[in-house]
Amino acid sequence: MILALESSCDETAVALFDPAHGLAGEWVQSQIALHERHGGVVPDLATREHLQAFAPLLARARTAADFSRVEKIAVTNGPGLAGCLAIGVAAAKALALALRVPLAGVSHLRAHAWSPFIPRHAEAPAEFAARLDELLPHLGLIVSGGHTLLFSLRAGGSIATLASTRDDAAGEALDKGAKLLGLGYPGGPLIEKLAAGGRVDAFDFPRGMGRRDELDFSFSGLKTSLRYLLEKMPAKEVEARRADVCASYQQAAVDALVRKTAAALERGPGAGPGWRSLGLSGGVANNRVLRAALEKTARGHGLPLLAALPQHTGDNAGMIAFAAWADTAGTDTRGLDLRIEPGLALA
């Protein structure tokens, strides 16, 4: 079994993964309540919380499984907040020493990239490698509070970044929009809830498309256009039309994500066979409007949509444990010399 630790941002998490069966247990301690009143993650507070949270989470993991079965420790070593990463890496080194097993550093972004494959492995663990080949090359979309990325995953596990955001991440655009509307943090789920009762065509927000042949995303114009709209609108009207504003704003973000993804699908993976699957992961992947739109896009291209399970969209250790096993090309093998890499890129 692999025992994995994650602490790159505001979730402390521990998971146990058995390659022959799947995830054997997952434990997450979220800090959302702590950071809510600050309107975003405060790095120093997050670091202290991780220090407090790991021991009880590990104690729970130990009641669920015999640690003598642990053959490897995996830990997120980047990207993320430096202090937060350091707590996880220090704890992982101590565990590797105590249990006398190897230590693997896992890229948080590569783990998000692999997370949509977790259910495929769970369905048929012994056949995972053979079936994986039938899903590659894979086009993946990672959408979170810090990242918006399109990438290709090919046979042999090589990952290439095809597009990223020039400014805000998709989740950041939703969080900032919610802040402008006085809704609270994190804004994505709050906007989705209000949007359900509104009209998507009530307001015309920019889709941040840039040039047609460019795949990169841009979300700062969306947020700015909401600010201008709210400045012009009397407070009473903002109150009365909140659902319409949320629905239109969310739709603009979803449209931008879907159109660039569709453009990448149409462009193809380059030489060799065409795309064989589309993936969706990261916190914003929880959004039902986005999921439905990408389902439709994938279907239109005759591809399966692999979406991360709800417990693996936000930050979690299940995906770290899984990546430590599935992503052999991406793990960091420096062992006890492992360093934190706060600015680590996807590829």
Contact 97, 26 (CB under 8 A): no
| Sign of the alpha-carbon dihedral angle for 17, 22, 24, 30 | positive
Minimum distance from residue 147 beta carbon to ligand KG4 (Å): 7
Verify binding: residue 331, ligand KG4, rule CB under 6 A: no
Comparing CB distances to ligand KG4, the nearer of 187 and 269 is: 187
Minimum distance from residue 177 beta carbon to Zn ion (Å): 20
Verify binding: residue 7, ligand KG4, rule CB under 6 A: no
Among 315, 327, 332, 341, binds ligand KG4 (CB under 6 A): 315
| Sign of the alpha-carbon dihedral angle for 182, 186, 188, 193 | negative
CA distance 132 to 299: 19
Comparing CB distances to ligand KG4, the nearer of 6 and 327 is: 6
Q: Determine the interface stretch with ligand KG4 among 70-78, 160-168, 280-288, 320-328 (rule: CB under 6 A).
A: 280-288
Minimum distance from residue 69 beta carbon to Zn ion (Å): 28
Q: What are 41-45's contacts with CB under 8 Å, separation 24+?
A: 41/9, 41/10, 41/81, 43/81, 43/82, 43/83, 43/84, 44/83
Q: Tokens 């060799």 appear where?
A: 272
Among 13, 15, 174, 180, binds ligand KG4 (CB under 6 A): 174
Among 9, 15, 265, 293, binds ligand KG4 (CB under 6 A): 9
Minimum distance from residue 39 beta carbon to Zn ion (Å): 19
Q: How many helices and strands (H and E) does the chain possess?
A: 13, 10
| Sign of the alpha-carbon dihedral angle for 293, 296, 298, 303 | positive
Q: Determine the interface stretch with ligand KG4 among 86-94, 260-268, 284-292, 329-337 (rule: CB under 6 A).
A: 284-292
Counting beta carbons within 10 angstroms of the beta carbon of residue 157, is it exposed (0 to 12), middle (13 to 18) or buried (19 or more)? Answer: middle
DSSP H or E run through 151: strand 148-153
Comparing CB distances to ligand KG4, the nearer of 140 and 171 is: 171
Verify binding: residue 287, ligand KG4, rule CB under 6 A: yes
Interacting residue ranges for ligand KG4, rule: CB under 6 A: 9, 144-146, 171, 174-175, 186-189, 192, 282-284, 286-287, 314-315
